[in-house]
């Protein structure tokens, strides 16, 4: 099972390194890590996904909170959240072989969009749950995935409760 932590941190050099070092020292495995600015100047938000079957999530949260520059840590695993991942997938799609139209239909079905076209490939952007992206990848795999990148999960608690600076 996966657990999702949200850490608000000061936007200063070395913070990401300290977080990664904590995981390395304690032998915690990070399944996904996404970092970005927040609505508060000088504060960044980390969404960290860990395998809770192999990692004590409570210990991870406690150790994160002890780090310098960490403002707040929330385990949002059991909270009502919106979780999304973004992927760019470059897939083979020859116009003359008919595969291009098939790939375009698949992209439409998954509510993804084409963001780049070349003579023999299409680059697809898809946003959604891990399951949605995994499903699209599996359906596109027979056409030939040339390259793929994923952002990692981001999460936000629904409603007025959230991981805001206190």
* 37 and 73 belong to one structural domain: yes
Q: The domain that contains 67 carries what CATH number?
A: 3.30.70.260
| pLDDT tens, position by position, 134-161 | 999 999 999 999 999 999 999 999 998 7
* Beta strands 70-75 and 113-117, pairing class: unpaired
* 16 and 58 belong to one structural domain: yes
| pLDDT tens, position by position, 112-127 | 999 999 999 999 999 9
* 54 and 93 belong to one structural domain: no
Say how far apart CA 164 and CA 6 lie, in whole Å.
10
Residue 141 lies in a domain: yes
Q: The domain that contains 128 carries what CATH number?
A: 3.30.70.1150
Q: Mean pLDDT over all residues of the chain?
A: 92
- What is the DSSP code (8-state) at residue 19? H
Domain count, the chain: 2
pLDDT for 88: 98
Burial of 134 per CB tally in 10 Å (0-12, 13-18, 19+): middle
Say how far apart CA 119 and CA 133 lie, in whole Å.
25
| pLDDT tens, position by position, 33-81 | 999 999 999 999 999 999 888 888 898 899 999 998 999 999 999 999 9
């Amino acid at each position: 099972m996966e657990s999702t932590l949200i850490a608000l941190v000061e936007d200063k050099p070395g913070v990401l390194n300290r977080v990664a070092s904590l995981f390395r020292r304690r032998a915690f495995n990070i399944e996904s890590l996404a970092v970005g600015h927040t609505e508060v100047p000088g504060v960044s938000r980390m969404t960290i996904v860990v395998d809770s079957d192999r990692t004590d999530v409570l210990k991870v949260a406690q150790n994160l909170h002890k780090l310098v520059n960490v403002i707040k840590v929330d385990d949002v695993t059991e909270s009502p959240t919106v979780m999304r991942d973004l992927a760019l997938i470059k897939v083979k799609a020859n116009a003359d072989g008919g595969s291009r139209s098939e790939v375009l239909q698949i992209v439409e079905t998954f509510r993804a969009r084409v963001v780049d076209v070349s003579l023999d490939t299409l680059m697809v952007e898809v946003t959604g749950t891990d399951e949605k992206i995994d499903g699209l990848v599996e359906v596109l795999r027979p056409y030939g995935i040339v390259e793929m990148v994923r952002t990692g999960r981001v999460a936000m608690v629904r409603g007025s409760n959230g991981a805001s600076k206190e």
